[in-house]
Structure 1
Amino acid sequence: MRLAGLPVALGAVSLSLWLGVVLLWRDLGRRNRLQAGALAGTGLVLLLAAALVFDAEIAWLGILDGNSYVVAMLVGVSFIGLIGSRRGHAPLPGSAVTGRRGTAGTWLGVHLLGAVLNLSTVFMVGDRLRRHGELSLPQLLALNRGLSSAALWSPFFASMGVVMTLAPEMRFGSVLAVGLPLGLAAGALSLADLSRRFALAEVPGYSLSPGSLMMPVAMAILVLLFHYRLTPSLSIVSIITFLLPAVALASNLPRGPRWTLRRVRGHALERLPAMRGEISLFLCAGLLTQGLSAFIAAATGSQWTLFEHFGAPQAALSFLAIVASAVAGLHPIIGVSVLASMLELPGSRQTLFAFVALAAWAVGTSVGPLSGINLSLQGRYGISGGVMMRHNLGYAAALSALVVGAIVLLDAWL
Structure 2
Amino acid sequence: MQETTSRQRLAGVLILLGLVVQIVGFSGWAATTQAVSYVLWAAVLLLWRDIPRRSRIQAGVLIALGAGMLLVARFVYGAEVDWPAMLQGNVFVVAMLVGVSFITLIGKQGSKGASGSRVTGAGGVLRTWLGVHFLGTILNLSTVLMVGDKLARRGPLKMPQLLALNRGLSSAALWSPFFASMGLVISLVPDVEYAHIALAGFPLAMMAGLFTTLELRRRFDLREVDGYSLAPRSLLMPVGMAALVMLFHFWLTPSLTIVSIITFLLPAVAVLSNLREGPRFTLRRIRQHSLTRLPAMRGEVSLFLAAGLLTLGLSTLVSAAAGSDWTLFTDFGTPQAMISFAAISLSALAGLHPIIGVSVLASILNLEGGEQTLFAFVALSSWAVGTSVGPLSGINLSLQGRYGVSGYRMMTNNLLYAAVLSLLSLGAIAGVSLVVG
Scaled by the length of structure 2, what TM-score is found?
Answer: 0.93
What's the counterpart of residue 185 of structure 1? 207
What's the counterpart of residue 157 of structure 1? 179
What's the counterpart of residue 13 of structure 2? none
Are residues 1:410 and 2:401 paired? no
Are the counterparts in 2 of residues 81 and 90 from structure 1 also a CA contact under 8 Å? no
Are the counterparts in 1 of residues 110 and 234 from structure 2 also a CA contact under 8 Å? no
Query: For structure 1, which segment, 146-155 or 95-104, has the greater mean C-alpha deviation from structure 2 after superposition?
Result: 95-104
Are residues 1:228 and 2:256 paired? no
What's the counterpart of residue 291 of structure 2? 269
The equivalences for 1:205-224 within 5 A come to 205-224=227-246
% identical aligned pairs? 63
Match of 2:61 among 38, 53, 62: 38
**Cα deviation, residue 360, structure 1:** 0.6
What's the counterpart of residue 123 of structure 1? 145
What's the counterpart of residue 336 of structure 1? 358
Match of 2:93 among 37, 57, 70: 70
What's the counterpart of residue 93 of structure 1? 113
* Shift in alpha-carbon separation, 1:11–1:5, aligned structure 2, 3 A: closer
Question: 1:41 & 1:2 partners in 2: Cα distance?
Answer: 29
Give 1:170's aligned amino acid: V
**Cα deviation, residue 93, structure 1:** 2.6
What's the counterpart of residue 131 of structure 2? 109
Are the counterparts in 1 of residues 133 and 168 from structure 2 also a CA contact under 8 Å? yes
Question: 1:79 & 1:66 partners in 2: Cα distance?
Answer: 23
Are the counterparts in 2 of residues 106 and 205 from structure 1 also a CA contact under 8 Å? yes
**Cα deviation, residue 94, structure 1:** 3.9
**Cα deviation, residue 361, structure 1:** 0.5
What's the counterpart of residue 172 of structure 1? 194
Are residues 1:326 and 2:348 paired? yes
Question: 1:2 & 1:119 partners in 2: Cα distance?
Answer: 27
Are the counterparts in 2 of residues 332 and 360 from structure 1 also a CA contact under 8 Å? yes
Give 1:187's aligned amino acid: G
RMSD: 1.0
Question: 1:409 & 1:29 partners in 2: Cα distance?
Answer: 40
Q: Which secondary structure does the structure 2 equivalent of 1:234 belong to? A: coil
What's the counterpart of residue 377 of structure 1? 399
Give 1:61's aligned amino acid: P
Give 1:108's aligned amino acid: L
**Cα deviation, residue 201, structure 1:** 1.4
**Cα deviation, residue 343, structure 1:** 0.2
The Cα offsets for residues 235-261 of structure 1, whole Å up to 9 and x where unpaired, read as 000000000000111111111111111
Question: 1:198 & 1:80 partners in 2: Cα distance?
Answer: 35
**Cα deviation, residue 84, structure 1:** 1.8
Match of 1:202 among 224, 244, 269: 224
What's the counterpart of residue 333 of structure 2? 311
Q: Which secondary structure does the structure 1 equivalent of 2:260 belong to? A: helix
Give 1:411's aligned amino acid: S
Match of 2:306 among 259, 284, 297: 284
Please list every run of at least 4 consecutive aligned residues from structure 1 whose deviation after the TM superposition is greater than 4 angstroms. Answer: none
**Cα deviation, residue 202, structure 1:** 1.4
Are the counterparts in 2 of residues 43 and 288 from structure 1 also a CA contact under 8 Å? yes
Q: Which secondary structure does the structure 2 equivalent of 1:233 belong to? A: coil
Query: For structure 1, which segment, 256-265 or 332-341, has the greater mean C-alpha deviation from structure 2 after superposition?
Result: 256-265
Are residues 1:79 and 2:79 paired? no
Question: 2:271 & 2:37 partners in 1: Cα distance?
Answer: 24
What's the counterpart of residue 256 of structure 1? 278
Give 1:338's aligned amino acid: V
Structure 2 unaligned regions, length at least 5: 1-23
Give 2:133's aligned amino acid: H
The Cα offsets for residues 102-155 of structure 1, whole Å up to 9 and x where unpaired, read as 110000000000001101111111111111111100000000000000000000
Query: For structure 1, which segment, 44-53 or 4-13, has the greater mean C-alpha deviation from structure 2 after superposition?
Result: 4-13
Question: 2:102 & 2:307 partners in 1: Cα distance?
Answer: 24
Are residues 1:7 and 2:30 paired? yes
Are residues 1:141 and 2:144 paired? no
Are the counterparts in 1 of residues 319 and 326 from structure 2 also a CA contact under 8 Å? yes
Question: 1:318 & 1:325 partners in 2: Cα distance?
Answer: 11
Give 1:22's aligned amino acid: L
Q: Which secondary structure does the structure 2 equivalent of 1:161 belong to? A: helix
Are the counterparts in 2 of residues 84 and 90 from structure 1 also a CA contact under 8 Å? no
Question: 1:275 & 1:56 partners in 2: Cα distance?
Answer: 35
Number of residue pairs the alignment of both structures matches: 411
Give 2:49's aligned amino acid: R
Are the counterparts in 2 of residues 171 and 351 from structure 1 also a CA contact under 8 Å? yes
Query: For structure 1, which segment, 24-33 or 331-340, has the greater mean C-alpha deviation from structure 2 after superposition?
Result: 24-33
Are the counterparts in 2 of residues 83 and 90 from structure 1 also a CA contact under 8 Å? no
Structure 1 unaligned regions, length at least 5: none
Scaled by the length of structure 1, what TM-score is found?
Answer: 0.98
